[in-house]
Amino acid sequence: MSKLYPPKGVYKLNRRDFLKLSGVSIAAFGLSPLLNACGSLGGAASTGKVGGTIDFLSWEGYDIPTCMEKWNKANEVVLSPSYIGDQSEVQAKLSTASSVGYDLVSYYHGAANTYIKELKLLQPIDLDKVPNFKELIPWFQTGDFWVSDGKVWGIPFTWGAEGCCYNADKIDPIESWFDLLKPEFKGKVGLVDDGYGMILMAGIAIGLADKLPNITLKELADVKKFLLELKGQARGIAASYGDQSNMLISGEIVAAFPGWAALNVWAAASGVNVKMNVPKEGGFAFTDAYAIPVGADNVESALAWINEALSPEAQACQATSLAAGVVNLKALPLLDKATASMYGYDNLDEYFKQVKFYGYPPTTSDQVATFEQWNNTWAEVKAA
């Protein structure tokens, strides 16, 4: 079995497609007046050690070009991006073409073990070169997904959470995921073709939150049973979260399983009052981290670039651009109202108890269900 983690095509949280389908952009929402007035995005002076080309490999949008434009110019840096359509493309390219010399990549937190320990694709980060790291929300400085063996291997820069998105003008918040099985929701629920997210959230719904992602085949079968019941309530399975957002906007559905908080922002742009709550069983969160691969040939510039991306101004800019969370709370006053209200910034410790960060299931195991078995289960649900 391939050691790519996850198998290609399993994890479909495709930011590029989301942004295209929803029309999300800085131009669409506009930066907050304070951020526009700041006028200093990326205004740091060149150190003399920074410059040249940074070869970048990640999702389209994660190069935050508008946010970093002034800094790039001031430091004579050219970011040369190669965009991915699936997270597994990063480890594939780094594993088979290490001589290419990518300087900057990103990884989803669930793949940390594979990137750091299994495939050893990354080099530790010199935090003396990233002083803004100290400004991050404490959890993003210490989480196991980027800190290992006393070293930091990735720098979280954006995050999000999934719960239940609902039309707040038509229904009350969903108190329990099982409420979606009530007769009044027949044909009014929208699912999404994200196998990992669907199985993860269904597992949370049926009480497996403390065991995930390491669930047995019997428990995976229980997850499938719940998903089939939920499918019977659904209007349809959206191809992406962008399409799911459109179903909420058009009124085809009143609730989304699972719903990503970005849907709130996209719907607001169309004048529709969509909110996200976390039912009593819980939800999940995700984050992406910048990292420097082994074999990078412009490390100084990559580190300086990451440091700037953590600044309050760049953080507010990326959150607006990506409909995402910030890892630096000093960015909050710079956010527009819709983006600032997406997550529970007033009490993140409590919020992260409701929306936990989960890793991936194993690629091979005799004890628990593997990622391939998760993928096969979702395929069976769709085909049923």
43 — pLDDT class (breaks 50, 70, 90): very low
80-100, pLDDT tens digit by residue? 999 998 888 898 899 875 556
Give the DSSP H or E segment for 19.
helix 15-22
Which is nearest to 273 in space by CA: 258, 257, 252, 251?
251
Return the CATH number of the domain spanning residue range 15-159+287-346.
3.40.190.10
Report the pLDDT value the prediction gives residue 101, as an integer from 0 to 100. 84
Q: What is the largest CA-CA distance in the chain?
A: 66
230 near 189, Cβ under 8 Å? yes
Burial zone of 20 (CB within 10 Å; 0-12 exposed, 13-18 middle, 19+ buried): middle
Across the range 201-209, mean pLDDT stands at 98
In the three-class reduction of DSSP (H, G, I as helix; E, B as strand; rest coil), residue 164 is classed as strand
Across the range 180-204, mean pLDDT stands at 96
From CA 114, how far away is CA 330, in angstroms rounded? 32
From CA 90, how far away is CA 154, in angstroms rounded? 14
From CA 110, how far away is CA 247, in angstroms rounded? 29
113-139, pLDDT tens digit by residue? 889 998 899 999 999 999 999 999 999
| pLDDT above 60 for 16 | no
Return the CATH number of the domain spanning residue range 160-285+358-383.
3.40.190.10
Of the given ranges (18-22, 140-144, 268-272), which has the lowest mean pLDDT? 18-22
Burial zone of 382 (CB within 10 Å; 0-12 exposed, 13-18 middle, 19+ buried): middle
| pLDDT above 70 for 305 | yes
* 147 phi, psi to nearest 5 deg: -110, 125
Across the range 147-165, mean pLDDT stands at 96
Report the pLDDT value the prediction gives residue 14, as an integer from 0 to 100. 42
252 — pLDDT class (breaks 50, 70, 90): very high
- What DSSP designation does 116 have? I
Report the pLDDT value the prediction gives residue 61, as an integer from 0 to 100. 92
Q: Which residues pair with 57 in a beta bridge?
A: 82, 105
The DSSP line for 23-59 is T--HHHH---HHHHHH--TT-PPP-SS--EEEEEEE-
Tell me the pLDDT of the chain averaged across its residues. 87
Counting residues of the chain whose pLDDT is more than 90, the rounded percentage is 74
- What DSSP designation does 118 have? I
Counting residues of the chain whose pLDDT is more than 70, the rounded percentage is 86
223-242, pLDDT tens digit by residue? 999 999 999 999 999 998 88
Report the pLDDT value the prediction gives residue 97, as an integer from 0 to 100. 57
Q: Which residues pair with 155 in a beta bridge?
A: 290
Residue type, 123: Q
Domain ranges of the chain: 15-159+287-346, 160-285+358-383
From CA 196, how far away is CA 13, in angstroms rounded? 9
Q: Which residues in 318-337 are b (16+ Cβ under 10 Å) and which e? A: bbbbbbbbbbbeebbebbbe
Question: Angle at Cα 194 formed by Cα 136 and Cα 102, nearest 5°?
Answer: 50
Tokens of 79: 């970011």
Of the given ranges (165-169, 314-318, 349-353), which has the lowest mean pLDDT? 349-353
Which is nearest to 331 in space by CA: 305, 357, 356, 308?
308
From CA 325, how far away is CA 320, in angstroms rounded? 9
pTM above 0.95, yes or no: no
Which is nearest to 76 in space by CA: 48, 57, 56, 103?
48
